Amino acid sequence: MEMAAALVSPAPRTVEDIFKDFSNRRNALVRALTVDVDEFFGYCDPEKENLCLYGYSNGSWEVALPAEEVPPEMPEPALGINFARDGMHRRDWLSLVAVHSDSWLLSVAFFFGARLNANERKRLFSMINDQQTVLESLSERKHGRDNKSGVENSGKSRHSAKRANNDVETKNSRPAVVDDAYEDDDEHSETLCGTCGGRYNASEFWIGCDICERWFHGKCVRITPAKAEHIKHYKCPDCSSKKADVN
């Protein structure tokens, strides 16, 4: 069993080894909650016993029962994540699992780092703190998709709804987002930035123009996710200059 193998493998001892172990486990958990989210969701059946989400140092993840020994050989993830699966909105449930996963990752890292000296622990924490948390990675992915589909926090989705109702999808526009799932990136591979012409990449922030309905890299039009939060109707530079010319 992979979980058993992970527990008996040599414990990382140096700051670099512990950080590598942390990063591999973190990447595995991020993948479980994003790329492999449908598979993860299926494993978390509320009818099953208390389940935990494990991220392993080899980069794999697993939903499994907790260790039987008391106390366990190393810190255990949050118990019973499956029980709340159907009682919460899917993205809220995933965020809750992400928060608990971040807490577990830190506990494992400092379990291994218990014998480090003060300077080494400080360096380890600094290295860890330079990485995004699992929750931040999950939120960034969701925020990027929501903005790319014209959906703002207020629930506005005028262009997305129009395209869905008319069953129209242009080459440079994005289809309506499904709140409870992460679509395959292949569906959007034809989306091009209206400024640089670059193809869509899920790791980058995009924003859509409410006038011409083209999509842009946030960096190309100097709009950050934080700025986008406060924009009710976004006009791209071309549409803004056209209005100025008319006046």
Every domain of the chain and the residues it spans: 2-131, 151-246
Extract the runs of DSSP E, i.e. beta strands, from the chain.
52-55, 61-64, 206-208, 215-217
Neighbours of 56 (CB within 10 A): 19
For the entire predicted model, the pTM comes to 0.57
User: What is the band of 145 on the pLDDT scale with cuts at 50, 70, 90?
Assistant: low
Q: pLDDT value at position 9?
A: 57
- Please give the Cα distance from 128 to 23 (Å, whole number): 8
Q: Is there a contact between 44 and 94 (Cβ–Cβ < 8 Å)? A: no
- The pLDDT of residue 158 is 34
First to last CA, the chain: 70
Strand partners, 4: none
- pLDDT at position 192 over 80: yes
pLDDT at 143 (0 to 100): 54
Q: How many Å is the maximal CA-CA distance in the chain?
A: 75
Question: How high is the pLDDT of residue 150?
Answer: 45
**Candidate CATH numbers 3.40.47.10, 3.30.700.30, 3.30.40.10, 3.30.2010.10; the one for domain 151-246:** 3.30.40.10
Is the model more confident about 109 or about 159?
109
CA distance linking residue 174 with residue 153, whole number of Å: 17
Residue with tokens 């598979």: 39
| Average pLDDT for 168-175 | 36
| Radius of gyration of the chain measured on its C-alpha atoms | 22
The bridge status of strand 215-217 relative to strand 52-55 is unpaired
Which of 57-61, 124-128, 140-144, 196-200 is the least confident region? Answer: 140-144
Q: How many CB atoms lie within 10 A of CB 178?
A: 10
**What confidence category does residue 170 fall into, taking pLDDT thresholds of 50, 70 and 90?**
very low
Residue % of the chain over a pLDDT of 90: 45
Q: CA-CA distance, 130 to 118, in Å (whole number)?
A: 19
